[in-house]
Amino acid sequence: MPKFAKHLFICMNQREPGHPRPCCDPSGQGELQRLFKTKLAERGIKLVRANKSGCLDQCELGPNVVVYPEGVWYGA
């Protein structure tokens, strides 16, 4: 039995300043993932895991989050 019913993959990719593509976590602080974890815990939601992710290749639409198993994408 899986421990989690859903996984949020939250892009934490960081690129150097001046890179031709944007990135989802320019500060490298992981604030978005930390916020998801905090809010899930505050709501007592234990079956959803907020995972760190590398680049999801939708950089121009970020910050990006994808929810599985549904495969629903969220961006800015």
What is the binding site for ligand FES (CB under 6 A)?
11, 13, 23-24, 55-59, 62, 64
Q: How far is the CB of 11 from ligand FES (least distance, A)?
A: 3
36: closest CA among 24, 23, 51, 47? 51
Output 6 or 58, the one with its CB closest to ligand FES.
58
Task: Please say whether the beta carbons of 6 and 41 come within 8 A.
Answer: no
Least distance in angstroms from the C-beta of 25 to ligand FES:
7
Asked if 63 contacts 76 with a C-beta cutoff of 8 angstroms, the reply is: yes
Residues 6+ apart with CB under 8 A from 72: 66
Q: Which lies closer to ligand FES via its Cβ, residue 1 or residue 76?
A: 76
CB of 70 to ligand FES, least distance (A): 18
